[in-house]
Amino acid sequence: MLDEPYPSAIGFIMLRILLVNESPKSSKALGQALQDDAYTLLPELNSASCLWQEAKKSQPDLILINTCVPSQTLLEQLQAMRGAVPVLMLVEGLNQVQIQASLQAGVSHLIDCFAAEKWAGAVMMAFAQFEQSKALQQRISLLEQQLADRKVIDQAKGLLMDKRRLSEGEAYETLRRQAMKQGMKLGDVARQVLAMADLLG
């Protein structure tokens, strides 16, 4: 969902689906598939222009898009809510550029031509790829944070070595002790040291 992370163990009991139906193709078969007791179909959208606003309001578990070719408006709406909810897109004959643009905008899974017997599998795949993408993004964010922390720690060590005539090991130990004393992360203590140095000139 948009406000809370969707559980990794996915159950399909009363799955709330927001359908954006921009194409008449497959609409009937799609509608029949969504009559399953496992799904609750939210008020349907015929245009993607207010998708983000409607998704925030209705809090779907899955966004389902039925379109021939994803419009720029649709891609912009998806980009605005990227990573918030799984997105399954039903399309026909997209080229590689269009597929890449859709995935970059936040589409979890694409299916070319609707098949009722493959519907449940497509939904499961959308959730699986959404969770995989989210885990990868979290890993990337963690690595970026670690690199940023390492940079400021090195800067803070250099400052202490210069101002207090400490060795590199002594400077690191000073930061580590301060972090333990304040119950803070080492990187945050390093930022604190650098901020104080800027303040004092």
Written as tens digits, the pLDDT of the chain (201 aa) is 554 444 333 444 578 999 888 877 666 777 777 776 678 888 888 888 889 889 999 999 999 998 888 889 999 999 888 888 999 998 877 888 988 899 888 899 888 877 777 788 888 889 998 988 889 888 999 999 999 999 999 999 999 999 999 999 999 999 999 999 999 999 999 999 999 887 765
Q: For residues 196 and 201, what is the distance between their CA atoms, to the nearest angstrom?
A: 8
**Is residue 122 exposed (0-12), middle (13-18) or buried (19+ Cβ within 10 Å)?**
middle
For residue 137, the surrounding DSSP H or E stretch is helix 119-164
Q: What is the second-level CATH architecture of the domain 142-200?
A: Orthogonal Bundle (1.10)
Distance set, CA 44 to CA 18, 40, 58, 116, 138 (Å): 6, 11, 11, 19, 32
Closest by Cα among 95, 101, 92 to 74:
101
pTM: 0.67
**Domain 15-114: which CATH number of 3.40.50.150, 3.40.50.2300, 1.10.645.10, 3.30.2420.10:** 3.40.50.2300
Outline which parts of the chain fall under CATH 3.40.50.2300: 15-114
Outline which parts of the chain fall under CATH 1.10.10.10: 142-200
